Structure 1
Amino acid sequence: MKSNVKWQYNETVQVGTDYQDTSNVQAYDEQMAKFRDFKKESTDIINAICLEREHSLLEIGTGTGNFAIEAARYCNNVYAIDVSSTMIAYAKQKAQAMGISNVAFIQAGFLSYEHNGPSLDMIVSNLALHHLPDFWKMIALKRIYQLLKNGGTFYLGDVIFSFPIEEYNHKIDNWIDTMKEKMGINFAKEAEMHIKDEFSTFDWVIEEMLHKSGFKFDIRHKDDFFAVYYCKKN
């Protein structure tokens, strides 16, 4: 897809925290570490997709590069993309400081990335797809399918709603209250912003999209607000 199409969704427009701001990017790892174990997350994903030395991997929405850097220890080639140029610059510096040289950090997103090279073995997207409205999620998933080699693996983890729609008021209020209790008022405000302004959707919507894209998939985890799908290209 050409990036100059006038009606294409603009992935660089961000909601909430401005990750083009260097100070926010620098604080990202410290803030996220309050409730996320990056090392364990990365190891769990690597084990789930059975990443091996000969594989090539693309991460969409790399942020500060935590997963991409860890994955680079297990395989030959990692491509790590993000729509924030500041995030990409920060992740690149982090990798260099750690002596990691087999990651290509590229400013791009689901809709704009153009892969130069053989089809990919693995694609990982963790907590990124919700930035796209549903129409563009479907376009993104079709593009991911096309980027993979036959038999390739797509790992998708995201905020996805699986509670009964009749319970949405109660479920969302409880979720935000839990965020406030466990992680503080700032994270509760982030959760409110996510519900109000971002594009997380229902499990049945995502699952139909995966099916329509051509994937066979297993549900590896699902609760009211988060799901993980392990997908294979037929």
Structure 2
Amino acid sequence: MHRSDTTGPRPAWFFREYEPVGVDLGSAAAVASYDRNQGTDPDADDALLDRLDVVAGTRLVDLACGTGSLVVQAARRGAEAHGVDVSEQMLAFARARAERAGAGAHWHRAGFLDYAHRAGPADVVTTRSALHQLPDFFKQQALLNAAGVLRPGGTFYLWDVIFSFPPADAAEHLGQWIDTAGRPVGEGFTRADFEAHVREEFSTYAWILEGMLARAGFEILAHESRSPTHGEFLCRRR
């Protein structure tokens, strides 16, 4: 394992990426609960890695890797797998997961905005359920940084809470999502968690992300909205 250092002092206006947004994940118990609530599934991770053609020797970087499940599964198949996260608690959980699996992954405490990739250019960069933690101006900066990590022709995959409904219908669709997604305490993310997500985090519209991706130097190969509130982009670095 090695750690990435930040690239130097940031101006006072810079987004404070290391301060928690949304659900508090500042303890080991909270991170373990988050992992359960996320429904971590190695089979689903492997299915995504298959889609992204991650094989032995592929260099993969997972930005905001959380509890590290995708990174561990990539390492298990022989990829050079790098997990990046601002949370020491998340990285500790991820390292323990890798040790249990006998997977040799690389872990870096860094964020979307300051990750400095020290290895060769990545073949694949992924991020799931995390870019919404940045306001749109800083999302654009994060996407520029992600493009800089990739080799030309490399693959970028984004999955997140991404809104595909018409703006005029926002209240209807967000209400339906919160009504159906919330679970009782102890059984998953609660209604209050989803209400806080909409109120305090920075999920945005697919058409906004399309422009950001293009301006970061990505060609969008596929975009799928799995629901009015969730979707994915599969891109290639130009």
The TM-score range, normalised by the shorter chain, is: over 0.9
- 1 CA distance for matches of 2:177 and 2:62? 28
Determine helix, strand or coil for the equivalent of 1:52: coil
Instruction: Identify the residue that residue 228 of structure 2 maps to in structure 1.
Output: 224
**TM-score of the superposed pair, with normalisation by structure 2:** 0.91
- 2 CA distance for matches of 1:104 and 1:231? 24
Instruction: Identify the residue that residue 23 of structure 1 maps to in structure 2.
Output: 29
Determine helix, strand or coil for the equivalent of 1:149: strand
Instruction: Identify the residue that residue 142 of structure 2 maps to in structure 1.
Output: 140
- 1 CA distance for matches of 2:8 and 2:230? 30
Instruction: Identify the residue that residue 115 of structure 2 maps to in structure 1.
Output: 113
Q: How many residues align?
A: 228
The 5 A counterparts of 1:196-215 are 196-215=199-218
Preserved contact between residue 122 and residue 153 of structure 1 (Cα < 8 Å): yes
Matching residue's letter, 1:27: S
- 1 CA distance for matches of 2:223 and 2:51? 9
- 2 CA distance for matches of 1:93 and 1:230? 30
- 2 CA distance for matches of 1:25 and 1:150? 35
The alpha-carbon deviation at position 54 of structure 1 amounts to 1.9
1:89-116: per-residue Cα shift (whole Å, max 9, x none)? Answer: 1211221122112x11111110111111
Matching residue's letter, 2:10: V
Instruction: Identify the residue that residue 66 of structure 2 maps to in structure 1.
Output: 63
1:36-68: per-residue Cα shift (whole Å, max 9, x none)? Answer: x52233123112211121210000111111111
**TM-score of the superposed pair, with normalisation by structure 1:** 0.92
Identity %: 31
- 2 CA distance for matches of 1:54 and 1:98? 18
Moved more, 53-62 or 43-52: 43-52
The alpha-carbon deviation at position 158 of structure 1 amounts to 0.7
RMSD: 1.5
Match of 2:172 among 170, 175, 183: 170
- 2 CA distance for matches of 1:169 and 1:188? 15
In structure 1, list runs of 5 or more residues that go unmatched. none
Preserved contact between residue 53 and residue 74 of structure 1 (Cα < 8 Å): yes
Preserved contact between residue 55 and residue 77 of structure 1 (Cα < 8 Å): yes
In structure 2, list runs of 5 or more residues that go unmatched. 1-5
After the TM superposition, which segments of 4 or more aligned residues of structure 1 sit over 4 Å from their partners? none
The alpha-carbon deviation at position 27 of structure 1 amounts to 2.1
Instruction: Identify the residue that residue 184 of structure 1 maps to in structure 2.
Output: 184
The alpha-carbon deviation at position 233 of structure 1 amounts to 0.9
The alpha-carbon deviation at position 3 of structure 1 amounts to 4.3
Match of 1:125 among 124, 127, 130: 127
- 1 CA distance for matches of 2:93 and 2:229? 29
